[in-house]
Structure 1
Amino acid sequence: MDASEEPTTPLVLLVTCAAWPGGEPGHGALDAALEARGLTGRWVVWDDLGVDWGAADVIAVRSTWDYDARLGEFLGWASGVGPALLNGVDVFRWNTDKRYLVELAHAGLPVVPTVVADTVFDVRAAADRFGLAVVKPRVGAGGRGLEVVADGRVWLPGPDSHPGPWVVQPLVESIHHDGETSVFVIAGHPVSQVEKLPSPADIRVHERFGGTMRSVELSREAALLAARAVATVVDLLGDEVVYARVDMMRHQGRLVLSEIELTEPGLYLDVLPLNAQLFADALAARAIPRTW
């Protein structure tokens, strides 16, 4: 092999959005972990027309947190960047529509009861059935567009509300005192866990709404449910799932799924820097040095 055939350092493109050009919170831990494994990591914005996606050995979607308002564009981008994209466009297409929760329930997983609602009348009927209900956009991120509905019989979307379609769920009472649990599954293995609590004035655990989080020891109960959830997705879709965050709540005495994030889940690197090491290992295992 002459000098011109020497393999180059594998390039990992970490995909973000224009609002987070430097990467997700705590990204420095991931940057350092990639460098330690001999990988070149670069944060790029998904809709930047100047990015050479074909130069990447691995493409990992990280903080594309504007996709929900531009889903068609985002899926179009994902379909065109090639096989280096982890999880991939078919997984993204399935995961960005919350009707997937109904599919997971039909597959036998414990899930927060979920009704798909295409019209105002569908929302009213489901919310009336649940009593105190939560209405969410079917395509949504970051808790945007969520509404708590006390009387479904008279519900109407407000002028600033999401226009639909929606999913409707009961308000799970434990959110007020137990919050939400998230388990990170990387390369098929549950690796870490956080607990998230909303503020007293909200039910959303996101920090922008006053939520807080802390790392906790990975529990057997949560790890088993997370692993089962990811395995079920693999069976349903027939695609590899390299990374996932499985969100769960306690409903009627047992842990149930509230979301499974396979597209752009925050790794909470500022709270769980170990996730950076494990995620970097998964990327390194899929990076093949180029000889051309």
Structure 2
Amino acid sequence: MAEPKRVLLAGCADLPRGDGDEDILLPALAEAGCKAEWIVWDDPSAPISDADLVILRATWDYASRRDEFLRWCESVPALRNPASVARWNTDKAYLAELAAAGLATVPTQVVAPGSAPDWPAGEFVVKPSVGAGSRGARRFAADDVDGAREHLAGLHADGRTALVQPYQADVDANGETACVFLAGRYSHAFVKGPMLSGASMDGSGLFVAEKVAAARPADDVLAFAEQAMDTTTSLLRLRRNELLYARIDVVRGADGTPMLLELELTEPSLGLSLAGDAAAIRMAEAVRELLDG
């Protein structure tokens, strides 16, 4: 009998075994001939050199030390998604690149320290371009430009670039639809409720608590998510199946047209616990495909 492949799931010190979403993945990996265990990404004793595959999962403390995190990613021999993808995707300025490539995205101004935005006419959001779990993101009323300037100044004082985006009102009624792809193929979806209206932090302090539920995306939302996958992989010069996972967060604009809110390729929650064992099996099969090359 062949030796099982060694797979490491990377978490962080505050969530060394993730947030529970991967609990159903571990037995599915075992069934697929993989011996899986958790590591803390910045633990120097983690056996990354002995692993057949290291999967970024709950590395949600990276935002305050992104450079260190990216150096670690580049040191891992067999990382998914790859370090080059993590470098591109952990700065949300990628939204401007996708928009320039023709993908419908939430209008985004990238505001570096020393510069100022054109404030949107209605409600809007100011958030750091490097951040996870909605930390540092705030929603402002149209007449609260002073408050927004203060928040932006705080981000800039920390040397952080910010994004300014018009708030998408449809989120209040319908949330955002997260479409999950595994090895380039659509797997499942879930809906996330609004997180910028007084939502509290998770117990770890690493992300804003979300209201989530399994969902079946509308046909036009799924078609848009497929387009987002194609645009992204073309931009990154990758084949779709080179991405072990991707989460496409879709909202509707004022005219009802789907557009991209965020594209998560580094360490997103994948909603496996919502989608059930079938999704965990698909994830394990995607891992095995990578290992078998």
| TM band (smaller chain) | 0.7 to 0.9
Q: CA deviation at 1:203?
A: 7.4
The reply to whether residue 33 of structure 1 matches residue 28 of structure 2 is yes
Q: CA deviation at 1:233?
A: 1.4
Q: Which runs of 5+ in 1 are unaligned?
A: 1-5
Q: Is the 8 A contact 2:199 2:209 kept in 1?
A: no
Q: CA deviation at 1:158?
A: 7.7
Q: CA deviation at 1:26?
A: 2.9
Q: Is the 8 A contact 1:10 1:288 kept in 2?
A: no
Structure number, greater radius of gyration: 1
Partner in structure 1 of residue 216 of structure 2 = 217
Instruction: Give the distance between the partners of 2:138 and 2:259, measured in 1 at CA.
Output: 21
Q: Is the 8 A contact 1:199 1:205 kept in 2?
A: no
Partner in structure 2 of residue 241 of structure 1 = 243
Equivalent of residue 280 in structure 2, options 263, 276, 280:
276
Partner in structure 2 of residue 231 of structure 1 = 230
User: Which digits, 9 at most, give the CA deviation of each residue in 1:10-49, with x for residues without a partner?
Assistant: 1111111111112332322000100111110011111010
Partner in structure 2 of residue 144 of structure 1 = 135
Q: CA deviation at 1:201?
A: 3.8
Describe how 1:43-54 pairs up with structure 2 within 5 A.
Answer: 43-54=38-49
Instruction: Give the distance between the partners of 2:17 and 2:162, measured in 1 at CA.
Output: 32
Q: Is the 8 A contact 2:152 2:162 kept in 1?
A: no
Describe how 1:132-281 pairs up with structure 2 within 5 A.
Answer: 132-150=123-141, 151-152=144-145, 155-157=149-151, 163=158, 164-198=160-194, 201-202=197-198, 209=208, 211-239=210-238, 240-252=242-254, 253-273=256-276, 274-281=278-285
The reply to whether residue 86 of structure 1 matches residue 90 of structure 2 is no
Instruction: Give the distance between the partners of 1:22 and 1:205, measured in 2 at CA.
Output: 19
Partner in structure 2 of residue 23 of structure 1 = 18
User: Which digits, 9 at most, give the CA deviation of each residue in 1:145-199, with x for residues without a partner?
Assistant: 0122333366223897673310100011111111111000111111111111137
Instruction: Give the distance between the partners of 1:264 and 1:171, measured in 2 at CA.
Output: 24
Partner in structure 1 of residue 113 of structure 2 = 119
Partner in structure 1 of residue 102 of structure 2 = 108
Q: Is the 8 A contact 1:197 1:205 kept in 2?
A: no
Q: Is the 8 A contact 1:30 1:276 kept in 2?
A: yes
Q: CA RMSD in A?
A: 2.5
Q: CA deviation at 1:204?
A: 9.1
Identical-residue share of aligned pairs (%): 35
Q: CA deviation at 1:264?
A: 0.2
Query: Given residue 172 of structure 1, which amino acid in structure 2 is its aligned partner?
Result: Q
Q: Is the 8 A contact 2:128 2:155 kept in 1?
A: no
Instruction: Give the distance between the partners of 1:249 and 1:203, measured in 2 at CA.
Output: 19
Partner in structure 1 of residue 89 of structure 2 = 95
Equivalent of residue 66 in structure 2, options 35, 60, 71:
71
- Name the TM-score, length of structure 2 as normaliser: 0.88
Q: Which runs of 5+ in 2 are unaligned?
A: none
Report how many residues are paired.
Answer: 280
Query: Given residue 48 of structure 1, which amino acid in structure 2 is its aligned partner?
Result: D
CA spacing shift, 1:116–1:241, aligned 2, 3 Å: same
Report the 3-state secondary structure (helix = DSSP H, G, I; strand = E; otherwise coil) of the residue aligned with 2:213.
Answer: strand
CA spacing shift, 1:202–1:249, aligned 2, 3 Å: farther
Deviating runs (4+, > 6 A) in structure 1? 203-208
